[in-house]
Amino acid sequence: MEFRRNLLSESSRVWVLFLFCSLFVHVGCLNQEGAALLLFKQSVKEDPDGSMNNWNSSAENPCSWNGVTCRDLKVVSLSIPKKKLMGILHPSLGDLSSLRHINLRNNKLYGSLPVRLFGARALQSLVLYGNSLSGSLPPEVGNLKYLQTLDVSKNALNGSVSISILQCKKLKTLSFSHNNFTGSLPDGFGSNLVQLEQLDLSYNGFNGSIPGDMGNLSRLQGTVDLSHNLFSGSIPATLGNLPEKVYIDLSYNKLSGPIPQNGALMNRGPTAFIGNNGLCGPPLKNPCSSDSPASVPSSIPFFPGNFPAAASDDNNSGGSNKRRGLSKGAVIAIVASDVVGIVLIGLVFLFCYWRVVSCRGKTQGARPGKGRNGRTECCCFRKDESETPSENIEQVDLVPLDSQVNFDLDELLKASAFVLGKSGIGIVYKVVLEDGLTLAVRRLGEGGLQRYKEFQTEVEAIGKLRHSNIVTLRAYYWSVDEKLLIYEYIPNGSLTTALHGKPGMAALSPMPWLVRVKIMKGIAKGLAYLHDFSPKKYVHGDLKPNNILLGQKMEPYISDFGLGRLANITGASPMPQPNKDPVEKQQNQLSEISGNLSSNSGLYYQAPEALKLLKPSQKWDVYSYGVILLELISGRSPVVLMATSEIDIVRWVQLCIEEKKPLSDVLDPSLAREPQCEEEIVAVLKIAIACVHSNSERRPSMRHVSDALEKLSSSG
C-alpha cells in the first residue's frame, strides 16, 4: 500500500509538471511522451543497474534516454531487457501513439497487463517474457492490427485466450509458453493467423481439441510446440499439411486415437507423441486396435464421383436414370452463363487498357517529382495506401541464430565500435559490449532491394553451420535502411596480413612451417565440412587469404561464406570488373598485399572456368585452396612481379617445375631454415599442384585433400 501511495503521489507530480510546462512554455520542459515514460519509471520500484538514471524531467524530450529510440521526436521503441527492473507496467505506455516496439524481457515486472497498454495501436512487437506478470491477456490485444511479435512466455498469466487475438492477422511470432493459460484455442485460429512463423503454446493448461485449420499455417518454421497441455481428442490429419521441415511437438497432452501418417506427421520419432496414453500406431509401440479408425487418410480427393453415396447409386438399378446426362435446358443455361462471364472479363480488361493508356498520356508530361504518383494511379487495381502504415514493416529487434546470444540491439548500438575494414560489400566493425563480449559486425548498407524473406532464408541457413574452422554467424538485423550481420570475433586478423603484413606494421615475424601446416589443415577441414557434411553441401565461391581469419592460437577460420549471395539480395554487392590498365592492376595487387579489401582481390584465386561465368562449384573452391597452399609454401603474393612482366603464382610455380629449378627458389626464404621439413613441403606442393589443375575433373575433392594432409607428421 505504501508503494502504491508513493506511486500515485509521484504520478501526480509528473502530470502537474507536464501541465505547468504546457501553460508556461520554456526551454527544458519535458514533452508529453517524456511525461508518459516518466510515469513508467515511477512505477519501477527497483532499478539496481541504474538503467533509467538519465530519465529526468529536465530534458525537452526522452530521445536521449537509455533504452528509448525516437523518430521525428516520437518514441518508437522502448527496450530495457535483462536489467532486473522490479515494478509494474504503467498504463501510460499505451499513450505513446508511435510506439512500435516494447522489449522488457527478463526483468522482474509483476501485476497485470494494463488494458490501456493496448491503446498503442502502432505496436509491432511486444516482448515481455521472463517476468512475473499475472492475470489474463486483455481482449483489447485485438486492437493491435500491426502486431508481428507477441512473446509473453515465462510469466504467470492465466485465463483463456480471447477470440480477439484473431484480429492480429500480421502475427509472425506467438509465444505463450510457461504460463497458466486455460481453455480451448479460439475457432479460426489457423484460418486467421496465416502469417505465423513461430508458435509456442507449451507448458500451459490449454484444453479441447487441436483446431483442424492449424494445418493452414503454411509459413511455420522450426518447432510448433503444443506440448505439456491438456489437448484432447484425435490429432487432426490436416496437421500433416504443415511444411515438412516443421517439427510438431504434441507430447504430454490427453490426445487419443491413431497418429496420422501423412506430410509433416510422417517419419517423426516417438518423442513428439509421448505422454498421450490414448495415442496408438507408429512411431509409438502401442498398436491400434482393429476397431480404431484408419490412421492413414485417403489420398483420393473428394469429388461427387468418388463419394460413397454416388458409388452406391452406380450399382443399383435406379442409377441409370441419374447418369443419363444433363437436360437440354441445363446445357443452354451453362453455355449462356459462360458467354456472360467471358463478356464481363473482356469489359474489365478493356477498362484496364483504357486507364493505362490515358494515364500514360498524362504522366509523360509530368514533372520528375510526380513519377511515383503517376505510376500508382496507372494501375488498374491497387490497395488503399491508407489501409496499413507500411508493407515493409521494420524488424527492429535483433534476430539471434545462436542460443548463446544474450545481448540485444540496444546493447549492440551503444557498444564501442572500431572499423576493421571496408569493401564494396560494406564496412566491418569490431564491437565491444559493456560486459566485454567482442563481436564482428558487418554492415551491408542502407539501401538495396527489400527482399526480406529471401534474405531471412539465406542468413538462417548460414547461421546453422557449426564447425571449428568456420566463423559463426551469431545474429542478424534487418530494417528498410539497415542490414547487419553479427559474427563471433576472431582476434588475429587475416591470413593475408600474417603472410604479407600491412602498411605501418612492424617487421613481419616469419611463420614457422608447423603453423602453416596447422592453417592448411584447418582450412581443408572447414571446406570439406561445407562440401560434404553441411546440410546442403555448400560451395564457398570466394575463398582467399583475406577471408581466412586466424584465432588466438593461429587456428584458421573461414569467413564470408554466403556473403556474396546476401549482398546480392540487399543490393550491396558491386560486380568486380577486370582491370585492363596494367598500372591500375598492379596498384590493386599491392593494395591486397598490404591487407586492404579490394573488389578485385579474389580474381587470382578463381578457377579458369570462372572466366566462362559458370556457377561456382566445389572444384572452384579446390582451385582457390590450391592457390592458398602455393602462397603458404612460397610466401609470395598471388601475382608474382618479375623483372619485365608479371605472372600469376600458379603459372610461376609450374614454370619453376618445368625449368627444374631447385626447391629453394620456390620456398619462402624463412622455410629454408627448416630443412627437416623438406619432405613434407614437397608432399604439400604436390597436393597444391593437383588442386590447381586446369581441368576441374582432375582436381581432388576437399575430403581427400584433408585426409592427405592429416597423414603429415606435423601436428596441427
| CA–CA separation, 434 and 384 (whole Å) | 46
| CA–CA separation, 400 and 151 (whole Å) | 15
Torsion of CA 632, 637, 642, 644, to 10 degrees: 160
Helix/strand/coil (H/E/C) assignment for every residue in 532-591: HHCCCCCCCCCCCHHHEEECCCCCEEECCCCHHHHHHHHCCCCCCCCCCCHHHHHHHHHH
CA distances from 275 to 108, 230, 627 (A): 33, 11, 57
Say if CB 696 and CB 609 are below 8 A apart: yes
| CA–CA separation, 710 and 716 (whole Å) | 9
Within 8 A by CB and 6+ apart from 421, the residues are: 427, 428, 596, 597
Amino acid at 278: G
| CA–CA separation, 603 and 614 (whole Å) | 14
Shortest CA distance to 132 belongs to which of 102, 91, 89? 89
H helices, E strands: number in the chain: 18, 29
Rg, Å, the chain Cα set: 33
Sheet with 395-400: strands ordered across: 395-400, 473-479, 482-488, 438-445, 426-432, 416-423
Say if CB 605 and CB 638 are below 8 A apart: yes
Helices 452-463 and 563-570 pack at an angle, to 10 degrees, of 160
Helix or strand (DSSP H, E) at 182: strand 180-183
| CA–CA separation, 648 and 629 (whole Å) | 14
Residue 585's Cβ-count burial label (10 Å; 0-12, 13-18, 19+) is middle
The answer to whether residue 542 is catalytic is yes
DSSP letter for each residue of 57-104: TTSS-STTSTTEEEETTEEEEEE--SS--EEE--GGGGG-TT--EEE-
| CA–CA separation, 661 and 306 (whole Å) | 82
Say if CB 428 and CB 439 are below 8 A apart: no
CA distances from 648 to 162, 586, 632, 638, 673 (A): 69, 12, 15, 6, 26
Which of 542, 560, 621, 648 is an active site residue? 542
φ, ψ for residue 617 (rounded to 5)? -125, 175
Cell 509530368, residue located: 366
Residue 543's Cβ-count burial label (10 Å; 0-12, 13-18, 19+) is buried
In this structure, the number of other CB atoms found within 10 A of the CB of residue 208 comes to: 14
| CA–CA separation, 639 and 651 (whole Å) | 9
φ, ψ for residue 101 (rounded to 5)? -135, 130
Shortest CA distance to 106 belongs to which of 89, 86, 76, 77? 86
SS3 content of the chain, % helix, strand, coil (to 5): 40, 20, 45
| CA–CA separation, 157 and 133 (whole Å) | 6
Shortest CA distance to 483 belongs to which of 504, 458, 501? 458
φ, ψ for residue 464 (rounded to 5)? -85, -10
Residues classed as catalytic? 542
